């Protein structure tokens, strides 16, 4: 009797599994989802929890408190770091997308043979480690670096330029180079799939090359531009390595101060609150950006 019921149960489950697309989807996702739960969701939850606690000397006060958020948003130093991080990553995003678009456009519209080779070439910076690429920029921009020694040997300057390295501009330059392929590829994919007859139709209806670009090519490539911008803005806001290596004291970003809280200062709750606040800020700004861009694009007719 019990055995029969069990068999029926299995059959029912099997039937449900076959009928329900959702169940099959979840089953397919489950390995990835388990890793995500263990390695991402759980630490995040812990981080959120910490951000509501308080550090008292060496002891942790687990009483619910918003004090860390008050400090994060209230103290002038932290606010300035938030602003600077967002300024730097906005500049990186803008510059990278502006530089990536023509490259993606060139490969999508002008290259006729061996596009694949071009795409591989564009990803070559990724073949070396991120750290090496940052160090390379240090070599280029440094006091005795490529630019300074080059200019000095040409006799254009007599003292090495000191404004090249250890400032926000160095951070922007380094990040823009490091993230370029992340911008080129999504924009390329969107440009590549634009039906060329749409551009012919626009030309036929009286538009010259510039108007064609503004009215057809650009609006249709917008999903790629948005994807590129988000993919660069979100991680660069929280970047830690580049400002540490090339930023100097003026190029410190929010991630550096978060690291300090967790490591040297040992104030985990404040570090957690700063991390949560910067995550929220990035999330809200990204949503606003996507909405604003879509709204602006809908006005193009």
Q: Would you give the binding string for another protein spanning residues 152-191, x where CB under 8 A is met?
A: ----------------------------------------
201 binds another protein (CB under 8 A): yes
Burial of 183 (0-12, 13-18, 19+ CB in 10 A): buried
CB of 222 to another protein, least distance (A): 8
DSSP one-letter code for 142: S
Cα(301)–Cα(215) distance, integer angstroms: 7
Q: Which of 63, 70, 211, 292 binds another protein (CB under 8 A)?
A: 211
Residue 189: count of CB within 10 angstroms of its CB: 15
200 binds another protein (CB under 8 A): yes
CB of 193 to another protein, least distance (A): 11
Q: Which of 197, 210, 249, 263 binds another protein (CB under 8 A)?
A: 197
Nearest CB to another protein, comparing residues 8 and 200:
200
Q: Would you give the binding string for another protein spanning residues 220-259, x where CB under 8 A is met?
A: x---------------------------------------
- Helix residue spans in the chain (DSSP H): 2-19, 21-36, 42-50, 67-74, 76-105, 115-122, 130-141, 146-153, 168-192, 196-204, 209-212, 218-237, 241-246, 254-260, 268-298
Cα(140)–Cα(89) distance, integer angstroms: 21
87 binds another protein (CB under 8 A): no
Of the candidates 247, 97, 86, which has an alpha carbon nearest to the alpha carbon of residue 179?
97
195 binds another protein (CB under 8 A): yes
Q: Residue 112 has which token pair?
A: 């006729």
208 binds another protein (CB under 8 A): yes
The site for another protein (CB under 8 A) is made up of: 195, 197-198, 200-208, 211, 215-216, 219-220, 297, 300-301
């Amino acid at each position: 009797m019990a055995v029969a019921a069990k068999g029926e149960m299995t059959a029912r489950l099997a039937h449900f599994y076959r009928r329900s697309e959702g169940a099959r989807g979840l089953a397919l996702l489950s390995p990835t989802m388990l890793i995500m739960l263990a390695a991402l969701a759980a630490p995040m939850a812990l981080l959120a929890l910490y951000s509501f606690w308080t550090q008292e000397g060496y002891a942790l006060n687990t009483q619910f408190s918003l004090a860390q958020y008050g400090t994060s948003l209230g103290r002038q130093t932290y606010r300035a770091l938030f602003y600077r991080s967002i300024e730097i990553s906005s500049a990186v995003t803008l510059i990278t997308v502006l530089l990536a678009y023509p490259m993606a456009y060139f490969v999508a519209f002008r290259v006729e043979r061996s596009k694949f080779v071009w795409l591989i070439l564009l990803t070559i910076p990724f073949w070396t480690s991120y750290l090496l690429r940052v160090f390379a920029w240090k070599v280029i921009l440094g006091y005795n670096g490529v630019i300074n020694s080059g200019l000095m040997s040409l006799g254009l300057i007599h003292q090495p330029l000191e404004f090249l390295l250890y400032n926000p501009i160095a951070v922007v330059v380094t990040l823009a180079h490091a993230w370029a392929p992340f911008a080129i590829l999504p924009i390329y994919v969107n440009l590549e799939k634009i039906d060329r007859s749409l551009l012919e139709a626009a030309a036929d209806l009286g538009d010259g090359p510039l108007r064609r670009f503004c009215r057809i090519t650009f609006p249709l490539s917008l999903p790629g531009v948005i994807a590129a911008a988000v993919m660069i803005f979100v991680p660069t806001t929280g970047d830690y390595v580049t400002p540490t290596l090339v930023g100097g004291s003026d190029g410190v970003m929010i991630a550096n101060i978060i690291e300090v809280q967790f490591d040297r200062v040992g104030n985990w709750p404040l570090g957690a609150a700063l991390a949560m606040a910067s995550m929220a800020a990035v999330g809200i700004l990204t949503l606003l950006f996507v909405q604003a861009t879509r709204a602006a694009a809908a006005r193009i007719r």
